[in-house]
Amino acid sequence: MKAEEVLFTFGSGQERVESATRRMETGKSIRLRIEGMNCGSCVAHVERALRAVPGVRSVEVNLTTESANIHFANGAVATGDLVNAVRDAGYDAEPFRPGDAATTDIEKSLAARLRQQRQATLQAVAVGAPVMAIHWLAPLLESHEHGGHIWPHAVQALLCLFLLCSSAGAPILVGGMQAILHGVANMDLLIGLGVSVGFIGGTLRLILGGADFGEFDAVAMILAFINVGRLLELRARHGAGSAIAALTRRIPSTAHRVTDRGIETVPIDLIRVGDRIRAVVDTFVPVDGEVIEGQAAVDESAVTGEPLPRNRGVGDAVVSGSIIREGTLVIRASHVGVESTIGRIVRTVEEAQAGKTRWQRIADRVAGVFVPVVIVIAIATLFFNHWRIGGGWLFAVERAIAVMIIACPCAMGLATPAAVLVATGAAALQGILVRDAAALEAAGSVDWIMFDKTGTLTTGRPFVQSVFTVAVNSTRGSEPSRDEIRTSDDVLSLAASVEQNSQHPLAKAIVNAACEKNLTFDESFAFESFPGRGARAVVKGETVLVGSPALLREQGIDIHSADVAMQQARDTARSVVLMALGQHCVGSILINDSIRKGASEAFQELRSLGIGMSMVTGDSAVAAHAVADSLGIADVLAERLPEEKLSDVRVMKDRGHRVAFVGDGINDAPSLAGADVGITFASATDVAVGAATITIVHHDLRRLPLLIRLARRSVRVIRQNLFWAFFYNILAIPLAATGRISPGVAAACMMFSSLSVVLNSLRLRRVGSDVTVSSIDS
């Protein structure tokens, strides 16, 4: 097992925020960009070619992202061998660098393809229109003298020949010939056969003096509709991949590097760890690193979810993708390129979009055998219509052409990847990173979520809830010499004066509470720490001890006067810190772990979605029920060891539930891996992030219902797409074989089928806009 991770830390002083996007994978993998695929049959053929390379364990080829993920065992597999295998199969390939799917090179490539397709579409429509017009005006021309009606059809033939040799038809014919040479049946082969047979049939009818020249009209309509469809499909795919483009726009193409000679502007690829980078106002931070000069207001909302800019100065860390709103920083780079925060997020999204769901694998297998079956049906249609029905050869050829055109399996190949592409992109823009398509599919079927408590439902950062003064029993000794211990603020100020020298989380909570109240700290001397229990110091000549009840007892201090506070702490699962002045207990501080912001709203929405919930924690039953009661969780399992948590997950799965587990600790890793869906947060431990399949960048529980809604809608759209793709072919092929659909209409139907699944998938973009980052954070 190989774990590959990068940990990003930003914040300083008492605030330390850790964000991570990590990935665990077995063995190794290589990613390739594939060019030339246009249907599900192409996908199946490329997968077979790559699987044949020795050492390859598994392959995932995605039509929408035009990429291939090749996984292999620990033995070496040369990238060149994989590229050659793809080229031998009739397609082109090149190594895929992480982030390429939306970098400038890819955008330029897509722009060039769109320009070429626009030109091809313009030719197909401009030249095809006269061909179709002549066909519609043919009855008028036939009223002239004998033989006068031949020349318009000769014009049709010349125009169709031009179409076949132009960019509107030549790429299809070349693709079809390459398919024959490489032994693969794909969309280009079906369309190429259809238009070729149609053109040859029309030419023969023209030479032999036939009476009907519908073949030329069919050729023109097929090429026009196919090219219009491909243009719209390219534009739709570009829209579906807009999430990656939005993320990578946060990666500038250049950076200002500070050297001994001054400041130089260099391509971002040339930046190395340790370089000094200057970031100015209204620009994106290009790298992760530490501020070594300057001060600025930095907008980190895209990465951390913080709605307001944060002040960053010398010693603070900043992350790539942040925006400088005010000021200027010089940053020493610690992570660059694809290893930076935004680079890792982009890589995670790309890999999720390249993955496949169970439905997609089924569709690809069907598409792999679909084209040969269609060719067999077309041949059967040809002979049946000629011999059994008694139609002429050209009559039979027209129906066979319609069968081949209408049955192109484009919709099958696009049904699932288009939906996955849009859904994972929309999720990424909301701060939800889905590791692969299977995780998205599994999240869509979740009906029960199990939560860890500490760090998941609670912040894991203690805060002062209550401060009490304690009356000193004069019969047990003299009064404290400091008569100013009269209010809770006096207790808090004196305790903070001692704890300001401690790094313990409870000590920090006391200091933070004093700072929030603008209380004055006194200077302390002779500081002494009792690790995990408390601290002692001299403040204004008085010995002050702040710590646990056990520590005060150990030091011989009577704490009976604090019994009420200690009982309240036990009843409410709070932590209690006592303070003694000299040998007298004079104050108590109740400290609590706060429930995360938005948890109640998230749970209400999850219930409205029909999700059952339970808490599984290693904490005490009292502490667990205190949190559970505030959130309305009835099913609570407390004091559970890691293996017992995993057992609880399995029990719930055995009851027939589809279970998601949400946790962030090392002890949660087994449960995260054992659940149907493991969900963690970017601030979690590296082990938890590695075990989970979904990572929420912003630690906000309100993104959980958004994830469930998006996943459910994605599964629903995938099923709709696949139903339409299969239903369309089941219905259309018999209609074409019986002559109820002409070749031209068949081309229009095929175009509509492909566009329908892409446009249906694009509806998923609205799910992410239902709950925006800004609305959540506000």
Catalytic residues: 452
Show contacts of 470-474: CB within 8 Å, 24+ apart: 470/561, 470/562, 470/565, 470/578, 470/585, 470/586, 470/587, 470/588, 471/561, 472/561, 472/584, 472/585, 472/586, 473/558, 473/560, 473/561
In this structure, the number of other CB atoms found within 10 A of the CB of residue 143 comes to 8
Q: Which of 434, 431, 426, 433 is nearest to 302 (CA)?
A: 431
* Beta pairing class for 458-469 and 254-259: unpaired
Which residues lie closer than 8 Å to 264 by C-beta, 6 or more apart? 256, 257
Per the structure block, which two tokens stand in for 636?
């609570």
**58: alpha, beta or left? (left if phi > 0; alpha if psi -120 to 50):** beta
Per the structure block, which two tokens stand in for 296?
């600025």
Residue entry with tokens 């996943």: 711
Query: Distances in Å between the alpha carbon of 304 and those of 310, 341, 462, 485?
Result: 11, 11, 20, 41
Q: Which of 603, 601, 454, 579 is nearest to 507 (CA)?
A: 579
Which residues lie closer than 8 Å to 592 by C-beta, 6 or more apart? 462, 463, 465, 572, 574, 575
- 294-305 burial, b at 16+ Cβ within 10 Å, e below that, comes to bebebbbbbbbb
Q: Contact, 187 vs 37, CB < 8 A? A: no
* Beta pairing class for 612-616 and 635-637: parallel
**Is the four-CA dihedral 184, 186, 188, 191 of positive or negative sign?**
positive
Give the Cα separation of 14 and 513 in Å (integer): 12
Query: Distances in Å between the alpha carbon of 295 and those of 238, 289, 325, 715?
Result: 39, 14, 11, 47
Per the structure block, which two tokens stand in for 73?
């065992």
In this structure, the number of other CB atoms found within 10 A of the CB of residue 651 comes to 12
Q: Which of 750, 679, 678, 766 is nearest to 717 (CA)?
A: 766
**Is the four-CA dihedral 681, 682, 683, 688 of positive or negative sign?**
positive
How long is the chain?
A: 778
Containing H/E element for 529? Answer: strand 524-530
Containing H/E element for 29? Answer: strand 28-35
Burial of 28 (0-12, 13-18, 19+ CB in 10 A): middle
DSSP one-letter code for 112 = H
In this structure, the number of other CB atoms found within 10 A of the CB of residue 592 comes to 20
Give the Cα separation of 661 and 667 in Å (integer): 12
Q: What is the DSSP string of 411-469?
A: HHHHHHHHHHHHHHHHHHHTTEEES-HHHHHHHTT--EEEE-STTTTEEEEEEEEEEEE
Report helix angle 170-181 to 187-208, nearest 10: 110
Is 341 strand, coil or helix?
Answer: helix
The single-letter code of the amino acid at 216 is: F
Q: Which of 505, 504, 458, 506 is nearest to 664 (CA)?
A: 458
